[in-house]
Amino acid sequence: MKFGFSTLGAPQYSLAQCNDLAVTCGLDFLEVRSLGGSLDMPAYFAENPVPAGSLPIHVLGSSLFLTMAGDADVEAFFGFMKLADQLGTPYVRVFGGGDFSEDLDPEKLRHAATVVRRIREKAAAEGWRAEPILEMHDAFSNSERCQRLNSLLDAPLSLLWDSHHTWRIGGESLADTWQAVSPLIRHIHYKDSRATAEGFDYVPPGEGEFPSQDLFSLLKSQGYAGGVSLEWERKWHPELAPLEAALPKFADVLRTAGFSPAS
């Protein structure tokens, strides 16, 4: 198992700053979503070469929502796929879109499947090695809904398991999610939260209600060998403490689970 963090936690940092922080914390990789205050990663990397000796970038995060993507959105996403291929990054994250409180619209599902086929056809034509990976998020915050989309495809989409969202929003136990879709899970997001009257608030790793030790015990027992990112969403929640304050808490959770961050 490899450990890293999403650059959402330090959205104004450069790649070099994020890399230095990850190395200092003994982490293995980066998940890149925001750098230098921008979400436009093709533009960022066009102006900022990757420093020599940088950690691998395991996932590149896009803003593509499959159920509502138009032609311009898909064309922009191709820039992320091309960049991922140049960086040697295996996965480009996509969202399904929508709200979990609403039923999935069959027409929007068919549209999402059409978008996936278009991406795959373009990747094959260009020889891009990266692949889109669907985050279990928003309307797709449980296994059944991800499987419903995959049933419309010739080959299923790989999954990025947002372990918090399937538990907190999707209402699935960690064991049930794993049993349902583990063959498709290529990457995992980890975060913690505490319920409030309005919903929930994110809190430092290990200080909330998320069953952190259950997650890492499950992954260890099942021999999971992919990546786990701390997703500290300071980009969207600027009230959160700096990423530097959350990373030691993440390390504490990992040590309690029997891992060292550099293992």
pLDDT in tens, 55-91: 999 999 999 999 999 999 999 999 999 999 999 999 9
The pLDDT of residue 48 is above 80: yes
Query: Do residues 56 and 91 lie in contact, with contact meaning Cβ atoms separated by under 8 Å?
Result: no
Average model confidence (pLDDT) across the chain: 96
Domain boundaries, the chain: 2-256
> Is pLDDT of 263 > 50?
no
Cα–Cα distance measured from residue 254 to residue 258, given in angstroms and rounded to the nearest whole number: 6
Taking residues 220-224, report their average pLDDT: 96
| pLDDT reported for residue 262 | 56
Overall average pLDDT of the 114-124 stretch: 98
pLDDT at residue 261 tops 80:
no
Rg of the chain taking only CA atoms, in angstroms: 18
pLDDT at 260: 80
Q: Are 11 and 32 contacting, i.e. CB atoms less than 8 angstroms apart?
A: no
Nearby residues of 200 by Cβ (< 8 Å), 6 or more positions away: 168, 193, 194
pLDDT in tens, 180-203: 999 999 999 999 999 999 999 999
Q: What percent of the chain has pLDDT over 70?
A: 99
How does pLDDT run across 9-30, given as a tens digit for each residue? 999 999 999 999 999 999 999 9
d(CA 31, CA 187): 10
Q: Going by DSSP bridges, is the β-strand pair 29-32/57-65 parallel, antiparallel, or unpaired? A: parallel
Which CATH number applies to 2-256: 3.40.50.360, 3.20.20.150, 1.10.3720.10, 3.40.50.2300?
3.20.20.150
pTM for the model: 0.96
Range list of H helices, the chain: 15-24, 41-47, 71-87, 106-126, 143-150, 163-168, 174-181, 212-221, 243-256
Whether the CB-CB separation of 255 and 247 falls below 8 Å is answered with no
- Assigned token pair, 209: 């209600």
